[in-house]
């Protein structure tokens, strides 16, 4: 169905991402659900889940590891094997058959992993040998994070090449683009923030050096995809996964400004701290540092999303939990229909319950 819009842009207004026309600005956020099959391969219920939500202006898939060493959780899909590419192809075909658009989020968890999840039982990698506080989710239950292996300079080109290969695999799987996950305490975020990056070489120290790896990954992805098919996700003050930065405003203003040099599809920012609920960073100031399309995320509802777009604070708004529980979220928003309540006990792992069994709205 065609969603209505006023003369002023709102959540229901179409928007152009490069050559892609999105039917609306209601974006499905990347959502880890831990429901891949053996070998971290997307399976039939993943196809159903994404097909049900194809009315989003754009779906951003759950984080998908770029290599076997990027794994940080059980049953999260990858994009580095032939079986995974084939599994994702079934997903993208289903979304496209429904008229939807879908990007894949390229993910490396870095130190937020465990040796039991790594090939050969080696230690996870990170910018510096700093152990994160907390525990890893493994196939044997929760286990304390380990002190990671600090990546040597000579190891970084292969890491960037893994991102490039994953971007190529995403194209082979039929995605419309890729989002580079540089948020929420995972590997690229670990390089960006000074609480986790204590390097003294060309990838550590000032922010120009700390963002170097992210920029190399961005350039590698753009080389595969061309203009406006690559997005980047940041989380300037999210303390999830034991993260901090001494100057988050200055750090991420600088990152946003530098990312303006590239023909990105968008900059996707998780605003505030998911752990504490605080918002100390001035996100309008950060947004003003980026000249491209800005996607806001975290705690938005229908009114907040419309307000953000109408006031030109954001160009798109990503919704997470609301999309988990409401596969028809755009239509519910458009018609002011009541929303299903998400069941948090089924967010991570399990079967179709709490995954594909949320009903679309039906007036009875």
The residues assigned a catalytic role are 186
Alpha helices by DSSP H, listed for the chain, are 44-52, 82-97, 156-172, 187-192, 207-210, 212-225, 248-259, 283-288, 302-310, 321-325, 329-335
* 135-138 vs 141-144, strand pairing mode: antiparallel
Q: Are strands 266-270 and 294-297 parallel, antiparallel or unpaired?
A: parallel
Contacts of 34 (CB under 8 A, 6+ apart): 73, 74, 75, 76, 348, 349, 350
Euclidean distance between CA atoms 22 and 123, whole angstroms? 41
DSSP-derived pairing of the beta strands 26-28 and 316-319: parallel
Contact predicate 108/67, CB 8 Å: yes
Contacts 24+ apart (CB under 8 A), 274-277: 274/184, 274/235, 274/238, 274/239, 274/240, 274/298, 275/238, 275/239, 275/240, 276/239
Q: What's the rounded Cα separation, in Å, for the pair 54 and 327?
A: 8
Report which of 113, 131, 128, 253 is spatially closest to residue 191, judged by C-alpha positions.
Answer: 128
Q: In sequence order, what are the beta bridge partners of 267?
A: 232, 294
Residue 179's alpha-carbon distances to 182, 195, 225, 312, 338, in angstroms, are 9, 24, 11, 22, 31
Single out the residue of 18, 22, 28 nearest to residue 3, CA to CA. Answer: 22
């Amino acid at each position: 169905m065609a969603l209505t819009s006023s003369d002023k842009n709102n959540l229901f207004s179409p928007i152009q991402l490069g050559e892609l026309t999105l039917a609306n600005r209601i974006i499905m956020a990347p959502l880890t659900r831990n429901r891949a099959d053996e070998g971290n391969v997307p399976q039939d219920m993943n196809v159903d889940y994404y097909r049900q939500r194809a009315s989003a202006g754009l779906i951003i898939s759950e984080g998908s590891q770029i290599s076997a060493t990027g794994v940080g959780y059980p049953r999260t899909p990858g994009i580095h094997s032939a079986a995974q590419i084939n599994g994702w192809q079934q997903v993208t075909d289903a979304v496209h058959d429904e008229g939807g658009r879908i990007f894949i989020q390229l993910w490396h968890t870095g130190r937020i992993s465990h040796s039991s999840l790594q090939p050969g039982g080696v230690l996870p990698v990170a910018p510096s040998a700093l152990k994160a506080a907390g525990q890893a989710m493994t196939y044997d239950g929760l286990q304390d994070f380990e002190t990671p292996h600090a990546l040597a300079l000579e190891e970084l080109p292969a890491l960037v090449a893994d991102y490039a290969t994953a971007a190529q695999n995403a194209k082979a799987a039929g995605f419309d683009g890729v989002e580079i996950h540089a948020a929420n305490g995972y590997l690229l975020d670990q390089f960006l923030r000074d609480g986790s990056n204590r390097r003294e070489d060309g990838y550590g120290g000032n922010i120009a050096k700390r963002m170097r790896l992210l920029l190399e990954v961005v350039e590698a992805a753009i080389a595969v995809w061309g203009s406006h098919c690559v997005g980047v996700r940041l989380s300037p003050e999210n303390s999830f996964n034991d993260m901090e930065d001494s100057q988050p405003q200055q750090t991420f203003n600088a990152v946003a400004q530098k990312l303006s040099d590239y023909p990105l599809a968008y900059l996707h920012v998780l605003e505030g701290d998911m752990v504490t609920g605080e918002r100390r960073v001035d996100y309008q100031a950060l947004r003003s540092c980026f000249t491209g399309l800005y996607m806001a995320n975290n705690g938005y509802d229908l009114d907040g999303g419309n307000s953000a777009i109408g006031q030109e604070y954001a160009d798109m708004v990503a919704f997470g939990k609301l999309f988990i529980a409401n596969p028809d979220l755009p239509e519910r928003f458009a018609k002011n229909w009541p929303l299903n309540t998400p069941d948090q006990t089924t967010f991570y792992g399990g079967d179709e319950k709490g995954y594909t069994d949320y009903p679309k709205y039906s007036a009875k």
